[in-house]
Amino acid sequence: MIVMKIHDLAMGPYPARVRIALAEKNMKSRVQFVPVDLLKGEHKTPEFLAKNYSGTLPVLELEDGTFISECTAITQYLDTLDGHPTLTGTTPLEQGLIHMMTKRAELEMLDAISIYFHHATPGLGPDVERYQNKEWGLYQRDKALRGMRYFDTILRTQPFVAGEVFSMADIAVIGGLIFAGYLDVAAPAECDALGAWYDKMQARPSVKNRVTMSDKATA
């Protein structure tokens, strides 16, 4: 039975994070995806802002009318619903490390790539991108490249971003690399550990199948 809705954009890099988490938890059948057209600015309408003040995707809508936004918060909620978290840590140490590395992935790479997209490329188009600062966008692109180098050093010494197990920190880095790929921002050539890790992650069913054919048809 579907008891939750996810307001998202099927091909979006931030929505990808929640879609991967849902697949890892085997919960996709419990969710109805509600598409939001960013190019038309649907995420900035009063109706959508009532769901999420920040005007960003994705947003989780619960059966009782509660809305949860921000990928980390949504993942935390989904991961602990069954009482057996697999993505957010089971001990205080694991939880601390996973949240730390997730935040670093956001600050140093994913959000930086997003700023580059919105400021130094056409972004979502003139009807949505009302202000752009190209210099700031290019600076953030370079920050993202530095972030890739950082995660490359991490993945030279351990199999996953936060340690020995796959977690939402890995999902955040995957989201960043998905976004970078859309914008042809390649990881520095020397980041071979990051590249090898990402190849493995792309073969993971939850990553590979995050977007269905029906999603593509309506994207």
Mean pLDDT over 87-114 rounds to 98
Domains in the chain: boundaries: 4-86+207-218, 92-204
The residues pairing with 32 across neighbouring beta strands, listed in sequence order, are: 5
Note the CATH architecture for domain 92-204: Up-down Bundle (1.20)
Note the CATH architecture for domain 4-86+207-218: 3-Layer(aba) Sandwich (3.40)
Mean pLDDT over 13-23 rounds to 97
pLDDT value at 219 more than 70:
no
In this prediction, residue 3 has a pLDDT band, given cuts at 50, 70 and 90, of: confident
Dihedral of alpha carbons 67, 68, 74, 77, sign: negative
Map 84-143 to HEC letters: CCCCCCCCHHHHHHHHHHHHHHHHHHHHHHHHHHHHHCCCCCCCCCCCCCHHHHHHHHHH
- Is the full-model pTM beyond 0.85? yes
Mean pLDDT over 132-151 rounds to 98
pLDDT > 70 fraction of the chain, expressed in percent and rounded: 95
Round the average pLDDT of the chain to a whole number and report it: 95
pLDDT tens-digit readout, 117-136: 999 999 999 989 999 999 99
Residues with Cβ within 8 Å of residue 106, at least 6 apart in sequence: 72, 172
pLDDT value at 12 more than 50:
yes
The domains spanning 4-86+207-218 and 92-204 adopt the same CATH topology? no
Single-letter code of the amino acid located at 6:
I
